[in-house]
Structure 1
Amino acid sequence: MVRPGDAGVMQRRSVLGTSLARDMDREAGGLDLFKPGQGQTCRGCGATLTEEVADLGLVPLSVDPVRAAAGVRTVCAPLRAFVCGDCRLVQVASGGAVLRDPAPCPPDGFAGIIATRLRLGPGTPVAAFDATVLAPFRDRDIPAQAVPTGALSALRLREALPPPVLLLAGPLLATAMDLADALAGVRALLAPGGVAVFDIPDLMARLAGNRFDLLAHAVPALPSLLVAEMLLWQHGLVLFEIEAVPGPGPWLRLLVRHEEDATKPIAGTVLGRREAERAAGLEGPAAYHRAAVAVAEARLAVLDLLVGARRDGRVVAGFGAGTAAATLAAATGLGPGLIGFTVHPEVGQSGLELPGSQVPILPPAALDEVQPDLLLVLDGTAAVAARAELARHCRWDGRLALPLPVLTIV
């Protein structure tokens, strides 16, 4: 059972995560490809990873649209997700360097809400690991600065600057190459009575929706709330409140305090989420085994649909051009031979294509000209929302194929 108090599993390992030196060597040498039996180890506890959650094959390291005639080689690598049999941390094997911040930025009103709640003012320092989230605080004359991660950096900063009352850690739990060092740094840097804010992927929602299209090289770890609590607890940090993060892709925002801070009791939202994750089986192997089967079946279903459509002479186009669309296309083996193009409202006549699959991206007006028999939704948009978006840009009103969680045609 994975609980904040269950430290035995984690403490059995003498080395927590990978060492900084080994991380630097890997970054300098590029992405290490995972091979069966290679001994890929958990970044949370050091155990060998053997339980697979998803194998998406070769997926581009960067999933942003590319110029069709740019002649730039798309670099791909195997994208495989495993769950640790000891600590139950879900992670991407041999994750490469983070290409860009994968987490959603705090909404416009977040700074005002948290400033009021923590009574932040001109004399209360704020820090963040990402400088781009600090502008709303500076606009309120709150001293805010970007700081590096890591325990050594935190100790040096404590000697030179006042400790921050609010520390915006962002996706640190999902992206840190050395989790132990990163969390030790948060513990050391945060002021007594302060609050650290973390963002993590909503693993339970992603498993329930079979959203393997949201896996990415840039997000090497996907801790459940139970695992996140355990990792935080190991470094004297306690989660006391959670909230859903608005925006694409389900994420959770965690509000964290020092364990000795008795002024911030654990909210009912945290207690309820714990029970929901236990009921979903996230503490054992069964839920992850079901996820692996669901991923494989969904990939095959999409490929069967498109091969059958081509055999029958039916025309299929796509909807969506974001990161999820690029990942789904790569994971299901799509290409111009199976899907002629995909449409996106924000793309004009710009000659863009999905990386890896090389599927052209066109404006929705192309649907009126081609009149496809079926539109495959690539980016996880719900059918109602997709139709509403299309209605604003074109007259086509045919059938939609929704590939996740299971293939459905409406």
Structure 2
Amino acid sequence: MLRATKVFTIEHPEIFKQKLLIWANQFREVVFLDSNNYHQKYSCYDAVLAVDAFTSIKTDYFNAFEDLHQYQSKTQDWLFGYLSYDLKNDTEALNSKNFDGLDFPDLFFFQPKKLFFLKDNQVEMKYLNLCDDEMKDDFHEILNEGSWESKVGGKEFGVGSEIKIQQRISKEAYLQKVSKMLEYIHYGDIYEANFCMEFFAENASIEPLEIYQKLNAISQPPFAVYFKNNHQYLLSASPERYLKKEGIKVISQPIKGTAKRNSNPILDEQSKVDLENNPKERAENIMIVDLVRNDLSRTASKGSVEVEELCGIYSFQQVHQMISTVVSQVENTTSAVEIIKTTFPMGSMTGAPKISAMKIIEELEETKRGLYSGAVGYFTPEGDFDFNVVIRSILFNAKNQYLSFSVGSAITSEATPEGEYEECLLKAKAMFEVLN
């Protein structure tokens, strides 16, 4: 698929990025990916924007990966969208019968008419079936965008007083459910499982773009996403990469292990050291690394799966995280969708053994995960891809005014129900802050 390409120099990249996102919000379909200039080894762009669907695919889990493969093979173009957690039902004999207040499709991708790639002080525009003049006009229109405050006339649109955030699982019920999961672990059914709970609001009225900007500002993660599909929104401050493909190299970077930041530099550094040496957190991370190695081996060239970094400590605005990097190589004939299908859902959001963990998760959780703990990202025309893990995120259906965010933690034999509950509240802190 041929695209017209034009490169412009920008004087103030951060200001341009904000104007670009405000301009983008006029379109029905928007995917905005922001690295927040976070230093990372496998980074391609500072930010990417895709808007305005030329073609799209929307489906439930049944035969979803095959449908996506056919769509991606046919278009051979840039595709942006998401994979929901419940696509697990396409690859295994599993189901998703819990409550779903959001009503998002299980899979959605679109072929954008307009693409923007920001790197340093340049923006590269790639337009489908459109001429240079339209690119120039759009570029100057973006430069002339006002601030978000001027767009809404100075009115504070963030969250209305009518929003009441509720907890789907009470603290008492949460403690009981984690105790039940520990029983499964002690019986040997699983070694580890990621257990999540939902916070939600009904009859919610928010301005999604403003909430995203606030969430991103206080978190500044490397895999932030503003996603819009008509009345469905994802506002994500994710620090985690699920899977990336560059040529024949595949990279997975699971997160397991969380510690609080501290305003006191000495105490903050001690928090990092404590996390690095915490046997429970290291055990969680290493178990998932083993699972990821096994998943990658299903498509890897023989002997190519390697642990590039084990239990590295990385700092973000809200928390310190323990992150490992596992890589493999694949044959040129291996399809992009097959690599994703054989590793999805990501091990950091399931557990080990994976299928047993997902069955127990479905039994004990009370909300269908949907896009939460799924992935958002893109395919290139060459069949490379990059996807995040949807965590630290707010989901919103403007049509039925339902708002949702979920948090979770890894349950191992070393876990205590009270400790896991406190970890969930720590992870929910940023969402509560922007919604209150």
After TM superposition, the score normalised by the length of structure 2 is: 0.24
**Structure whose alpha-carbon radius of gyration is higher:** 1
User: Which structure: greater strand fraction?
Assistant: 2
RCO higher in structure (CA 8 A, sep ≥6): 2
